[in-house]
Amino acid sequence: MDIEARIKRRQRRDGHPHLIQDYESLSPVAHIDEPADRGPFLERLLDHFDPIFDGNLPPNAYVYGPRGSGKSAVVTALFTHLDRLPSEARAVIQTSTRAQTPTSPAFVYVDARQTASEFAFYHAILDALIDESVPEHGIGTDRLRTRLDDRLTGSQAGVVIAVDHVGEPRSIGDGDLVDRFAGLPSNVSWLAIGRDDPDETDLTGYTAASIHVDRYQRQMLVDVLMTRASLGLSQQALDHSLARSIAEWAEGNAHDALTVLFVATDHASAAGRARLSEEDVERAIDEMPRPCISLGVVLALPANRQAVLRALVDISPEDRSSVTATTAAISESSAVDLSEGTVKRFLYEMAEAGIVDRVQSEERHEQGRPPSRVVPRFPPTAFRRLYDLRQ
């Protein structure tokens, strides 16, 4: 933990014990500056980026691995550190004629879940490269693209762009990503991050390397949980035995393990406890659907869809007996200013995307099919807390 984080934790003390010191450090959708136990993967990434230390751009590459294996966590942390290189002192390389200091490219991270449209994609890149804010309205995609081309053309060192969550539903497809990069200047190198094997994606036809990351081993996942607990919870709030239980259940998936920790912490905090209990962990695991969709996908939805889901997780089981009853209950919520028709359309869209499930009711009717209940494919407690923290 860095010095600033330690100081902030002490500033929050008010004479009373608090279980939760920092929600952001506990969040399963947040990435910390120093991810735990991904050293070999980090070294493979650094091997790929080695040309930048000689002032050259690396070739395009594809990073792949299963959900919850730490791809996003390591890449975001590495890009944060690499992007600091131009402003830091660099070793001088001696040549036969003169001494020179190689320049480093800029590093930009783009989440494809939030930048699926062409406008949003170019906007995110340009916004990361310039100091002034880029307007989100009153400017067309072509004009935005021209501004980005001008900025990239004027860059001597070039830019490395990581595009995360490629190929997921509601994200950027392989072909679209290749087309968008094909129209950018030649001083752009990219790193695509996805789950598909190299032989299952067209991206590898445009990359020089494929870098794989495996699921976390159990002890590695215990270290991840204990690291997050040390950052976000009071001292000794998480016992090693509970961390091992969570890691064993999660089967190498850091997202699911951290979500269980987050939900269990919320239960313990609501009960006024200063330590997590076995009951808190069991309740959190019981709340996790299998399979569980990534909370990052849910929180990347448009605001009106998230508002519908926020109302959904608070309505009673009786109000979820059918899609019609669910729609009516959500529409009556003060937090949702949408018609019943729009709410129903959103629910069907999100069922198609796998964010909610329509589970056939056990009730029997003489005619027609049984009604379908709407069930979230994410833990309600985690989404409720993360949503409310962002408001």
pLDDT along the chain (391 residues), means of 10: 53 60 91 85 94 92 95 94 65 40 83 94 93 88 92 86 93 94 93 96 95 95 95 93 97 96 96 94 96 94 95 90 91 89 95 89 58 90 95 86
CA angle, residues 217, 223, 226, in degrees to nearest 5: 140
HEC secondary structure over 122-163: HHHHHHHHCCCCCCCCCCCHHHHHHHHHHHHHCCCCCEEEEE
Instruction: Say which residue the tokens 């209990």 belong to.
Output: 277
Question: What are the two backbone dihedrals, phi and then psi, of residue 301, each rounded to the nearest 5 degrees?
Answer: -65, 155
| Residue 357 pLDDT | 92
Q: Is 62 exposed, middle or buried (0-12, 13-18, 19+ CB in 10 A)?
A: buried
pLDDT of residue 132: 87
- Give the model's pLDDT for residue 34: 83
Which residues lie closer than 8 Å to 20 by C-beta, 6 or more apart?
26, 232, 233, 234, 265, 269
Answer yes or no: pTM beyond 0.85.
yes
CA 375 to chain centre: 22
pLDDT of the residue at 97: 41
pLDDT at position 91 is: 39
Number of helices (H) and strands (E) in the chain: give both, helices first.
16, 9
The C-alpha R_g of the chain, in whole angstroms, comes to 23
- 28 alpha-carbon distance from chain centroid: 8
Q: How crowded is residue 256: how many other Cβ atoms within 10 Å of its Cβ? A: 25
d(CA 70, CA 164): 12
What amino acid occupies position 1? Answer: M
> How far is residue 294's CA from residue 289's CA, in Å, rounded to a whole number?
11
| Residue pair 371/323 in contact by the 8 Å Cβ criterion | yes
Query: Quick one: pLDDT at residue 320?
Result: 85
Cα–Cα distance list, 113 to 230, 301, 336, 344 (Å):
30, 8, 23, 23
* 305-321: b (≥16 Cβ within 10 Å) or e: bbbbbbbbeebeeebbb
Q: Whose CA is closest to 147, among 185, 186, 182, 187?
A: 185
Q: Rounded to an integer, what distance in angstroms lies between the CA atom of residue 284 and that of residue 291?
A: 15
